[in-house]
């Protein structure tokens, strides 16, 4: 037991975060006195901060990240970013390979359809926008603020747009903006769908429980859901789905 504690304390971990899983991992490592730095991209104005040391902002690409890892004597990297954060995940793979630092991907499982769901899968926001006119004229759009220009040309549709921070134009011509963040409850989501007379929900396959209530609400009301598939994996050597799995991996990464 003493030897295990000694090994763990020697590890200095970088968490590429911004997710609930990343915050849970930072808390678990801090409880075990394992030095940890959580890195946030800085795209959200008021992010939920994890416990422990936090840095905000980019690294300057894979080369900058590799240099940062060496400078700060990082012994292990856990990529716990959002499933759609393609750029930083790709940078993590390249940087850790260059620096010779072990990398683990912590990613929540994607959503799975249940009986009664009317799901329409697409491979991109562009495909989702093309599909919408066939499914309904009043849209609940929860794909994040950065992809909103993809839907800006759909002048015949009305959008309820929900995101954390105010988006920049272009936006759909007919819309209502709702600034909010999860977790959400099913009854609240169902009430929102009813009062706004929503006919179709559009979202990304983010997975997890914080925003899954909208899917249950759509099922209850018999509404179609357009889901954007996750991008292809960035190429991390291994992916796990739970914090305990990360804790089991860390001593072997030393």
CATH number for the domain that contains residue 95: 3.40.50.720
Same domain, 22 and 123: no
Cα 36 off chain centre by: 20
Please give the share of the chain, as a percent, with pLDDT higher than 70.
94
Q: Averaged over 174-200, what is the pLDDT?
A: 97
Residues facing residue 78 across a β-bridge = 15, 104
Q: How far apart are CA 210 and CA 20, in angstroms?
A: 9
Same domain, 187 and 238: no
Other Cβ atoms less than 10 A from the Cβ of 79: the count is 25
Strands of the sheet with 36-40, listed across from one edge? 53-56, 36-40, 13-16, 76-79, 103-106, 239-240
Is residue 117's pLDDT more than 50? yes
Please report the pLDDT score of residue 222 as a whole number. 98
Tokens of 48: 């939920």
Parent domain of 7 = 2-109+232-253
Count how many domains the chain has.
2
Same domain, 105 and 126: no
Same domain, 127 and 221: yes
Please report the pLDDT score of residue 179 as a whole number. 96
Q: Residue 20 — pLDDT band, cuts 50, 70, 90?
A: very high
Q: Residue 6 — pLDDT band, cuts 50, 70, 90?
A: very low
Please report the pLDDT score of residue 254 as a whole number. 61
Q: Averaged over 81-85, what is the pLDDT?
A: 95
* More confident call, 45 vs 193: 193
Same domain, 17 and 103: yes
Q: Averaged over 221-229, what is the pLDDT?
A: 98
Is residue 45's pLDDT more than 70? no
Same domain, 147 and 191: yes
* More confident call, 230 vs 5: 230
Is residue 162's pLDDT more than 90? yes
Please report the pLDDT score of residue 10 as a whole number. 56
Same domain, 87 and 188: no
Is residue 7's pLDDT more than 60? no
Same domain, 19 and 52: yes
CATH number at residue 221: 3.40.50
The mean predicted confidence, pLDDT, of the chain is 93
Q: Averaged over 143-151, what is the pLDDT?
A: 95
Please report the pLDDT score of residue 235 as a whole number. 94
Please report the pLDDT score of residue 41 as a whole number. 86
Q: Averaged over 80-100, what is the pLDDT?
A: 96
Same domain, 76 and 23: yes
Q: Averaged over 104-131, what is the pLDDT?
A: 97
Tokens of 143: 């794909």
Q: Residue 2 — pLDDT band, cuts 50, 70, 90?
A: very low
Same domain, 224 and 136: yes
Same domain, 100 and 180: no
Same domain, 205 and 130: yes
* pTM of the model as a whole: 0.90
CB 171 within 8 A of CB 152: yes
Please report the pLDDT score of residue 62 as a whole number. 97
């Amino acid at each position: 037991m003493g030897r295990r504690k000694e090994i763990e304390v020697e590890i200095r971990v970088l968490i590429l975060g911004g997710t609930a899983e990343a915050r849970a991992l930072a808390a678990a490592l801090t409880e075990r006195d394992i030095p940890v730095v959580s890195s946030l991209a800085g795209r959200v104005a008021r992010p939920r901060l994890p416990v422990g040391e936090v840095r905000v902002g980019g690294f300057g690409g894979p080369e900058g990240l590799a240099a940062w890892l060496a400078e700060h004597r990082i012994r292990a990297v856990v990529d716990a970013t959002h499933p759609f954060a393609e750029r930083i995940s790709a940078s993590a793979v390249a940087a850790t390979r260059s620096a010779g630092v072990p990398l683990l991907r912590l990613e929540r499982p994607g959503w799975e359809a249940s009986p009664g769901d009317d799901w329409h899968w697409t491979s991109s926001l562009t495909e989702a926008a093309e599909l919408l006119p066939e499914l309904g004229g009043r849209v609940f759009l929860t794909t994040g603020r950065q992809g909103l220009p993809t839907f800006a040309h759909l002048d015949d549709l009305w959008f309820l747009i929900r995101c954390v921070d105010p988006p920049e134009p272009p936006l759909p011509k007919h819309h209502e903006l709702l600034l909010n963040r999860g977790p959400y409850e099913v009854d609240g989501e169902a009430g929102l769908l009813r009062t706004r007379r929503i006919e179709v929900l559009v979202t990304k396959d983010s997975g997890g429980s914080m925003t899954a209530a909208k899917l249950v609400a759509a099922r209850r009301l018999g509404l179609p859901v357009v889901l954007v598939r996750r991008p292809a994996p960035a190429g991390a050597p291994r992916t796990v789905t739970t914090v305990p799995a990360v804790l089991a991996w860390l001593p072997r990464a030393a």
